[in-house]
Amino acid sequence: MTSDRDEAGADDRLGRQNLWYLDTSVAIRILLGDPATVDWWNARVRAGDAFVGSQLLRLEMIRVFRREDLDTQEVDDFVTQLTLTDVDNALLNEAAAITPHVKALDALHVASARRIGSATVVTHDGTMIKVAEQVGLSVLDPVAD
């Protein structure tokens, strides 16, 4: 399932002020109400910024919500605010080609963000921050910043 605002509709959304690639570590904190992360999210939404993520983000969030016995509809409602990129064979190859060590799912997030190009990666994962920076991506940790 793709968001109503999938890649085909990305052009309109990506022309906004700032473009943010959300990692699951931040998206989960937004939905669970972490104050610093929610404050960052609300400020960016008010500013009219655009948000992207991977279909992997939705999958990881659904799995967390199922594990915690939470309503997965909250995840589906949340991801309608994002442009979600597909996970395809080419992306798997791009993720495999990332040379700094990073876990497989994080490599898929980094590869997805690299595809977008101009997005700032928003993550709270220390290893992902380091690898994203090493491959030339801008990074923000709204929990620590």
Dihedral (CA of 16, 136, 26, 69) sign: positive
Supply the pLDDT for residue 122.
97
Mean pLDDT of the chain: 89
pLDDT at 118: 83
Q: CA-CA distance, 123 to 46, in Å (whole number)?
A: 20
What is the topology classification, in CATH, of domain 7-140? Rossmann fold (3.40.50)
pLDDT of residue 121: 97
Give yes or no for residue 5 having a pLDDT over 90: no
**Is the pLDDT assigned to residue 104 strictly greater than 90?**
yes
Please give the model's pTM, rounded to 2 decimal places: 0.86
Residue type, 67: R
User: Can you give the pLDDT at residue 19?
Assistant: 95
User: What distance in Å separates the CA atoms of residue 51 and residue 56, rounded to the nearest whole number?
Assistant: 15
**Cross-strand partners of 53:** 84
Angle at 42 between CA 40 and CA 47, to 5 degrees: 95
Domain map of the chain by residue range? 7-140
User: How far from 130 is each of 4, 124, 133, 135, CA to CA, in Å?
Assistant: 32, 11, 5, 9
Mean pLDDT of 3-31: 69
pLDDT score, position 145? 67
Do residues 102 and 95 lie in contact, with contact meaning Cβ atoms separated by under 8 Å? no
